[in-house]
Amino acid sequence: MSKDKDKDKGAQFDAIVIGSGITGGWAAKELTEKGLKVLVLERGAKIEHQTGYIHEFTPPWQAPNGGLPERELHARDYEIQSKIERGAFSWANRHYWINDRENPYEQVKPFRWHRANVLGGRSLTWGRQSYRWGNDDFLANARDGHGNDWPIRYADLAPWYSHVERFIGVSGQPEGLEHFPDGEYLPPMEMTALERALKERIEARWKERRVTIGRVANLTVEHNGRGACQNRNICNRGCSFGAYFSSLSSTLPAAQKTGRLTVRTDSVVEAIDVDPKTKRATGVRVIDAKSGEKMTFKARVIFLCASTYGTLQVLLQSRSEANPNGIGNHSDKLGRYLVDHHGVAAFGEIKGFEDRNYKGRRATGILIPRFRNLGRQDEDADFTRGYGFQGGAMRDDWTNTAALTDDFGAGMKHNIARPGKWVAFLGAFGEQLPQVNNRVTLNDKKPGNYGLPQLCFDVAYGENERKMAVDAGKQAEQMLKAAGAERVQLIPVRTMPGVSIHEMGGARMGHDPAESVLNAHNQVHGVDNLFVTDGAAMASAGTVNPSLTYMALTARAVDYAVAQIKAGRI
């Protein structure tokens, strides 16, 4: 078959969803459940729930290469992915991550682009922390003038947060705080003894600071036909119990159940065609990753859910006479105002709990919601906006004790058989300000995989981020010391753009088409049947993890799109 033959796959689908990760899975579920025939296009390979998690049950002593990093392979093929923080890339899940050598990108300034390009995307590898944004988050841009005003408020999203939480299952503790809205929770996971003490001591000293258990999309009880969490904390290998939310365990099976879902993997979307006369998106151009064959699929409505940078890449690549700089780029806003989280972390040892321990490996930590510059500028703050902390307190295990002991024989055995010291840590997630020059573009002179231009990142943290990180470090240190910590150490984390993996912006929502790419319903200004519902839509970064918000935005946008179809408007 000719590689260049542009095969037109006709209009056998009502809707096309590009990407099968957290947002694509949600779009597929909602669209099919509302009666539409849906095609999901996924650039990565097929992975089956359960059988695809090849190392889920491999014990460490049977790990390939003894579980040690395969340095040559990583340097050659996973130069970026293998550097991801918090052990998210390992021998157990390497097959989920993209091959960096085959998929290069340009870095004007150092930037980490972490991609899991398989069916299910990063829903397989995410940390599952699931928080609602509060009204302050949606008002921030309007209040201080950085970035454009969000076209929606918390009230617009609240019912959709509930809709999503009820389906995915989020365990957590309601707290009754206005700026940190509660959701619909399964029973919370338990705090460790030291975390309970941290809570008591921090809340006693600072009334406006709350310490709560992480709200996490891990099931503490059976839910929607999925099993309860076994407290193994090896979630990013995949979970056969379906005990954490992923597209493979949850949304795609729900879509499949309707009988209206078709999934095409190994399908790299190159571009979306727009008819210059009708201004409608007419088709999606695809390159088959295995054969190189080119083809076009058509549908009445398109949901672009390829993850923030994947989506921006597709929009920028969708160049035509009518849209010479890509779709939605009439006012040069596409690719700009990228935001993420930056931060710093603090560790300390706390004595006095040596008689206490815990069972299992809990798959979440604790969280302290934002307390700086809330609703007004704090007098002692030399920065705009704020940050929240995520952290935890647990005992060192035998591996650390073994590494530190200078004993041997029976003495060593005795030492490592006992639990180690208690260590508490707090890591800040700071809000990056939207800046016009933090952007991605295409470099046509540098071809990447499939002959498509490389995406070029020109992103840096600014002075506000630097000052905020200094303050966050100081506060973390004070809180740990107030809780009795000794030998507190500050360590730099999230100092390089990309490492936080909460990438947002580039096709921001807004009322004014001259200032934004999407409207209040995630519809591309000027292309009514094209919706973007992943992180690219975000107009600011907030201080908590964003994926629950993407899911709520996706479900809300589908509801709107289907109503528009029924009304004959798109």
Ligand X SMILES: Cc1cc2nc3c(=O)[nH]c(=O)nc-3n(C[C@H](O)[C@H](O)[C@H](O)COP(=O)(O)OP(=O)(O)OC[C@H]3O[C@@H](n4cnc5c(N)ncnc54)[C@H](O)[C@@H]3O)c2cc1C
Considering the complex, state which of residue 128 and residue 556 has its C-beta at the smaller distance from ligand X.
128
Alpha carbon distances (Å) from 276 to 273, 280, 312, 320: 9, 8, 21, 9
431 binds ligand X, rule: CB under 6 A? no
Distance (Å, whole) CA 324 – CA 31: 31
Considering the complex, state which of residue 233 and residue 437 has its C-beta at the smaller distance from ligand SF4.
233
Considering the complex, state which of residue 160 and residue 383 has its C-beta at the smaller distance from ligand X.
160
- Helices of type H across 37-94: 71-77
Which listed range, 37-45, 273-281, 367-375, 457-465, lies at the site for ligand X (CB under 6 A)? 37-45
Closest chain position to ligand X (CB) = 21
Q: Kindly state the DSSP code that residue 218 receives in the 8-state scheme.
A: B
Applying the rule CB under 6 A, the residues between 474 and 503 that interact with ligand X are 501-502
Binding mask 65-94 for ligand X (x = CB under 6 A): -------------------x---x------
Considering the complex, state which of residue 267 and residue 373 has its C-beta at the smaller distance from ligand X.
267
Distance (Å, whole) CA 320 – CA 201: 61
- Number of residues forming the site for ligand X (CB under 6 A): 39
Alpha carbon distances (Å) from 197 to 201, 203, 205, 345, 363: 6, 10, 12, 19, 20
The residue from 306, 367, 374, 499 that contacts ligand X (CB under 6 A) is 306
Considering the complex, state which of residue 223 and residue 385 has its C-beta at the smaller distance from ligand SF4.
223
Distance (Å, whole) CA 36 – CA 32: 5
Do the strands 336-339 and 453-458 form a parallel or antiparallel pair, or are they unpaired? Answer: unpaired
The residue from 34, 49, 94, 128 that contacts ligand X (CB under 6 A) is 128
Distance (Å, whole) CA 341 – CA 249: 28
129 contact choice in ligand SF4, ligand X, none (CB below 5 to 8 Å, kind-dependent):
ligand X
Question: What are the φ and ψ backbone dihedral angles of 367, each rounded to 5 degrees?
Answer: -140, 140
Of 236, 204, 138, the residue nearest 501 (C-alpha) = 236
19 binds ligand X, rule: CB under 6 A? yes
Which listed range, 17-25, 53-61, 197-205, 353-361, lies at the site for ligand X (CB under 6 A)? 17-25
Q: At its nearest, how many Å lie between ligand SF4 and the CB of residue 128? A: 8
Q: Which residue has the tokens 């299952």?
A: 169
Which listed range, 15-23, 141-149, 379-387, 396-404, lies at the site for ligand X (CB under 6 A)? 15-23
Q: Kindly state the DSSP code that residue 250 receives in the 8-state scheme.
A: I
- Do the Cβ atoms of 245 and 364 come closer than 8 Å? no
Q: How many CB atoms lie within 10 A of CB 155?
A: 9
Considering the complex, state which of residue 245 and residue 389 has its C-beta at the smaller distance from ligand SF4.
245
297 binds ligand X, rule: CB under 6 A? no
Q: At its nearest, how many Å lie between ligand X and the CB of residue 32? A: 17
229 contact choice in ligand X, ligand SF4, none (CB below 5 to 8 Å, kind-dependent):
ligand SF4
DSSP helix/strand/coil, 497: coil
547 binds ligand X, rule: CB under 6 A? yes
Which listed range, 124-132, 166-174, 344-352, 483-491, lies at the site for ligand X (CB under 6 A)? 124-132
Q: At its nearest, how many Å lie between ligand X and the CB of residue 204? A: 29
506 binds ligand X, rule: CB under 6 A? no
- Do the Cβ atoms of 311 and 305 come closer than 8 Å? yes
Distance (Å, whole) CA 147 – CA 139: 11
Considering the complex, state which of residue 310 and residue 484 has its C-beta at the smaller distance from ligand X.
310
Helix 547-566 vs helix 22-33: crossing angle, to nearest 10: 30
Distance (Å, whole) CA 398 – CA 415: 8
Binding mask 39-58 for ligand X (x = CB under 6 A): --xxxx--------------
Surface-to-core class of residue 187, CB atoms within 10 Å of its CB (0-12 exposed, 13-18 middle, 19+ buried)? exposed
Count CA atoms within 13 Å of residue 219 on its CB side. Answer: 23
Residues that bind ligand SF4 (CB under 6 A): 218, 229-235, 239, 241, 243-244, 363
Q: At its nearest, how many Å lie between ligand SF4 and the CB of residue 540? A: 31
545 contact choice in ligand X, ligand SF4, none (CB below 5 to 8 Å, kind-dependent):
ligand X
Question: What are the φ and ψ backbone dihedral angles of 295, each rounded to 5 degrees?
Answer: -155, 165
Binding mask 104-123 for ligand X (x = CB under 6 A): ----------x--x---xxx
22 binds ligand X, rule: CB under 6 A? yes
- Do the Cβ atoms of 248 and 259 come closer than 8 Å? no
Distance (Å, whole) CA 291 – CA 268: 11
Considering the complex, state which of residue 11 and residue 54 has its C-beta at the smaller distance from ligand SF4.
54
Q: At its nearest, how many Å lie between ligand SF4 and the CB of residue 191? A: 17
506 contact choice in ligand X, ligand SF4, none (CB below 5 to 8 Å, kind-dependent):
none
Considering the complex, state which of residue 41 and residue 164 has its C-beta at the smaller distance from ligand X.
41
Q: Quick one: tokens of 146?
A: 């950085």
Distance (Å, whole) CA 254 – CA 430: 35
* Footprint on this chain of ligand X (rule: CB under 6 A): 18-24, 41-44, 84, 88, 114, 117, 121-123, 125-129, 267-269, 305-307, 310, 314, 501-502, 534-535, 545-547, 550
